[in-house]
């Protein structure tokens, strides 16, 4: 359903919103963002068990709930709204999806149930110091060593990489290049030779780590040299999930800025009665609603296996990136001086907007990806 949600989905959303509002107050967000882990393992386990969140899009055969990307996107939208600090994107959206797309039947049986249950927190390490989001930028190498492989190199911008129990790594055969020779590997987070360092991030609600591999033993995931297509698909789905997370945050910020304008009195009248404020708020609504339409459409396109998914995913990501950041800029401006203070909550979402804009490629990057497909086709699909 690209243009509407079922009543079951709407109910799921409103239940989730209530829970996350209760569990992820800004006081809690502020507490967790100051920690190195960035989340509270006990509390996250409890929330996750109650709501079944990490099982959502994993098939029932692997211990999941068997829902689609549509439902996963609802979860992300609500998490983005609540600014939930939890290792969800890394484990469920990135690692589980990569395993689902690339793993052998036996590997899916072995790895997915624990991720679905939330017992294993996984992540996907693909980007490196260069900050490229595509497979061709991978330089970390995997060399056969008996039945296993040895990984050599560095991964960076790894979501929750410093805390993950299981790391899925994108590596290449030495002397291969481009989309060739790419394979996924898995290894436990605590493996000899793997150094993990928490990076200092502009957005403290989203933790990133740098992982250095010195001859680290790892297990091949799926087919040797066959990671290019499943990686691409995983990243498309990740871009779509992030777009949904972003529109959730954008809407929350928009509403907060509107409430503030309605509450505030200046020059003897409601700030919300000034036309300059009303027009700004109308523009914010347009930005957010257009981005929501794109994000919802894209999530449904995953479930319908749309041929044009690569372009649609990039469209949704680019649209959400611009809308979220623009909304955040307006939200700070509407709050005025207080909006620039640490005590005011607006900056928490502003920073999430900024980190989301950049993560997995900014709007310029995704517009180019979209054009690479649509310019070739010669017409907008």
Partner 1 sequence: MSEPTEDSVRAEVRAWLEANWNPDLGLVEWRNQLADSGWGVPHWPKQWYGRDLPVAFNTVVDEEFQRIGAVGVAKAGIRTLAAATILAHGTDFHKEKLLRRILTGEDTWCQLFSEPGSGSDMAGALTRADRQGNKWVINGQKVWTTSAHKAQWGLLLARANWDVPKHKGLAYFILDMKQPGVQVHPLKQMNGHASFNQVFFTDAIVEPEFLVSDVGDGWTVATTTLMHERRGADGLRSWATASDRKGRIYDEERAEIATTMEPYKWYPQRAGRVDLVLERAKEAGKLDDPVLRQEIAKLLIMSKSAEWTARRARAAQEQGRPQGPEGSLGKLVSSHVARLAARVHTQIAGADALLSGEDGPMNGLIAEILISVPATSIAGGTDEIQRNIISERVLRMPKEPSVDTNKPFRDVPRNLAGG
The answer to whether residue 46 forms part of the interface with partner 1 (CB under 8 A) is no
Q: Which of 369, 359, 288, 278 is nearest to 322 (CA)?
A: 288
The answer to whether residue 263 forms part of the interface with partner 1 (CB under 8 A) is no
Out of 126, 133, 185, 296, the residue judged to bind partner 1 by CB under 8 A: 296
Out of 48, 141, 319, 346, the residue judged to bind partner 1 by CB under 8 A: 319
**For the window 268-287, what string marks contact with partner 1 as x by the rule CB under 8 A?**
-xx-xxxx-xxx-xxx-xx-
| Chain centroid to CA 115 | 16
Q: How far apart are CA 286 and CA 242, in angstroms?
A: 20
The answer to whether residue 307 forms part of the interface with partner 1 (CB under 8 A) is no
Q: Which of 74, 73, 158 is nearest to 121 (CA)?
A: 158
Out of 262, 263, 265, 340, the residue judged to bind partner 1 by CB under 8 A: 262
The answer to whether residue 53 forms part of the interface with partner 1 (CB under 8 A) is no
The answer to whether residue 370 forms part of the interface with partner 1 (CB under 8 A) is yes
Query: Measured from the CB of residue 323, what is the shortest distance to partner 1 in angstroms?
Result: 9
Residues 202-261 that bind partner 1 (CB under 8 A): 258, 261
Concatenated DSSP letters of 207-219: -EEEEEEEEEEEE
Residues 167-186 that bind partner 1 (CB under 8 A): none
Task: Extract the tokens encoding 319.
Answer: 């649209």
The answer to whether residue 267 forms part of the interface with partner 1 (CB under 8 A) is no
| Chain centroid to CA 359 | 8
Helix, strand, or coil (residue 94): helix
Concatenated DSSP letters of 156-167: EEEETTTT-SEE
Question: Cβ distance 66 to 52 under 8 Å?
Answer: no
Residues that bind partner 1 (CB under 8 A): 2-4, 258, 261-262, 269-270, 272-275, 277-279, 281-283, 285-286, 289-294, 296-297, 315, 318-319, 364, 367-368, 370-371, 374-375, 378-380
């Amino acid at each position: 359903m690209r243009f509407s949600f079922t009543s079951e989905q709407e109910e799921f959303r409103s239940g989730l919103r209530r829970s996350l509002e209760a569990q992820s107050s800004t006081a809690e967000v502020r507490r967790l963002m100051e920690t190195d882990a960035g989340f509270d393992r006990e509390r996250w386990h409890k929330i996750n068990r109650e709501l079944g969140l990490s099982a959502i899009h994993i098939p029932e055969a692997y211990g999941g709930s068997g829902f689609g990307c549509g439902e996963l996107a609802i979860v992300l939208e609500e998490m983005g709204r609540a600014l939930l600090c939890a290792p969800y994107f890394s484990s469920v959206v990135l690692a589980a999806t990569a395993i689902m797309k690339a793993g052998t039947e036996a590997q899916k049986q072995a790895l997915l149930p624990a991720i679905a249950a939330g017992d294993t927190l996984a992540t996907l390490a693909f980007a490196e110091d260069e900050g490229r989001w595509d497979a061709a930028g991978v330089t970390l190498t995997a060399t056969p060593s008996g039945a296993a492989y040895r990984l050599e190199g560095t991964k960076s911008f790894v979501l929750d990489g410093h805390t993950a129990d299981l790391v899925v790594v994108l590596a290449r055969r030495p002397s291969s290049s481009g989309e060739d020779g790419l394979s996924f590997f898995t290894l436990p987070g605590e493996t000899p030779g793997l150094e993990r360092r928490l990076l200092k991030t502009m957005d403290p609600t989203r933790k990133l780590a740098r992982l250095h591999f010195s001859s680290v033993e790892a297990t091949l995931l799926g087919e040797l040299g066959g990671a290019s297509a499943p990686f691409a698909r995983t990243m498309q789905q990740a871009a779509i999930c992030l777009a949904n997370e972003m529109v959730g945050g954008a809407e929350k910020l928009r509403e907060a800025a509107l409430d503030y304008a309605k509450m505030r009195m200046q020059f003897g009248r409601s700030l919300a009665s000034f036309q300059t404020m009303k027009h700004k708020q109308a523009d914010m609504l347009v930005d957010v609603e257009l981005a929501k339409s794109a994000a919802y459409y894209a999530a449904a396109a995953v479930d319908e296996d749309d041929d044009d998914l690569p372009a649609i995913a990039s469209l949704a990501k680019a649209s959400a990136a611009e809308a979220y950041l623009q909304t955040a800029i307006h939200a700070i401006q509407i709050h005025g001086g207080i909006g620039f203070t640490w005590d005011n909550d607006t900056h928490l979402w502003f920073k999430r907007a900024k980190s989301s804009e950049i993560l997995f490629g900014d709007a310029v990057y995704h517009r180019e990806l979209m054009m690479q497909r649509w310019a070739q086709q010669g017409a907008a699909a």
